[in-house]
Structure 1
Amino acid sequence: MESSYASERPAGAGTAPAGTAWIGMVVFAGILMLTLGTFQIVEGVVALYRADFYPVAPDRLLVSTSYTAWGWTHVILGVITVATGAGVLLGQLWARVLGIVITAGAALVHFGFLTAAPVWCSILIGMQILVIYALAVHGRDVRPYRST
């Protein structure tokens, strides 16, 4: 069985160079995306079904909208983040690119939700910055898994 973690090379280009230690950072980013997506889904469900959980009125948020709109935004972004995290773990190029875009978007959404849960959103934004760094800087160390 061939490892999916090696550098990208065209077919027939000879043997691939040994993987780098940064592959672990990309795997970490994929696992973190699965975790962040799950957290975001939970955050969205809480906003949908228990808006009184958050101590701030919806009109005091950075983007003044209902908790229902925030909830659906978090749920949709969370589902996309989980699916993209699975793609990153499988070494898919589309997942690395989409992962950077979705994670940056999720960080902006959490910034807008900052007044509702300041500590929680700050932690998630910091974790999302780690994901963006890992995918942008070390994403090339991973290639798709191909069964032989």
Structure 2
Amino acid sequence: MTTSNTSYARPQQSPWVGMVLFSGVLLILLGAFQVIDGLVTLFRDDIKQATADHLAIPINFTAWGWTHLILGALTVLVGIGVLRGNTFARAAAVLLAMVSTFANLVYLPVYPFWCSIVVALNIICIYAIVAHGRELRA
């Protein structure tokens, strides 16, 4: 009986694969928060209207609530796709993270701490997915 000691060389994964997976989980979490924000804006717009004087642009709160709700749901779905290593989901994740960043920059004068955190997390997600997302396929 002959045994073969053939070892198959697997490509070495960088530690950034974990960061890309973390980005997928983070996208799901950020999307869920955005859905909650959209629901609050739709059902309790009196909370948001008190801060409208601080915004640089006028906002229709019903439209803004639906926008957050839809973007949040899409972000959750894209985050799941990133965890599965889907190429289209990675491209959509970068696009949605960019849109979320700009949307949070609008709210920056009103919620500076929260919006700064969301913008920073979006930028981390964008970097991890763009620079190291291809490594998930392996």
Which range, TM-score by smaller chain? 0.7 to 0.9
Where does residue 112 of structure 1 map in the other structure? Answer: 106
CA distance in 2, matches of 1:40, 1:74: 6
- 1:17-39 per-residue CA deviation (whole Å, 9 max, x = no partner) reads 13221110100000000000001
Cα deviation for residue 113 of structure 1 reads 2.2
Query: Which of the two has higher C-alpha Rg?
Result: 2
How far apart, in 1, do the equivalents of 2:111 and 2:61 lie? 13
**Whole-Å Cα distance in 1 between the matches of residues 57 and 132 of structure 2?**
34
Residue ranges of structure 1 left out of the alignment (5+ in a row): 1-13
1:60 CA displacement: 4.3
Q: Which has the larger share of helix?
A: 2
Q: Which runs of 5+ in 2 are unaligned?
A: 1-7
Equivalent pairs counted in the alignment come to 130
**Equivalence for 2:51:** 56
User: 1:31/1:79 Cα in 2 relative to 1: closer, same or farther (>3 Å)?
Assistant: same
TM-score normalised by structure 2 residue count: 0.86
Q: Which residue of structure 2 lines up, in the alignment, with residue 131 of structure 1?
A: 125
Map Cα deviations across residues 42-76 of structure 1 (whole Å, 9 max, x no partner): 1111111111223312x642331221111111111
For the 8 Å contact 1:37–1:81, the answer to whether it is kept is yes
- Runs ≥4 in structure 1, deviation > 3 angstroms? none
Q: Which has the higher contact order (CA 8 A, sep 6+)?
A: 1
Counterpart in 1 of 2:33? Answer: 39
| TM-score normalised by the chain length of structure 1 | 0.81
> Any idea what SS the aligned residue of 1:116 has?
coil
The whole-number CA distance in structure 2 between the counterparts of 1:45 and 1:115 is: 21
Distance 1:133 1:56 in 2: 32
Matches within 5 A, 1:1-148: 16-54=10-48, 55-57=50-52, 60-143=54-137
| 1: CA distance, partners of 2:35 / 2:57 | 19
Q: CA deviation at 1:16?
A: 4.4
State the distance in 1 between where 2:47 and 2:112 align: 14
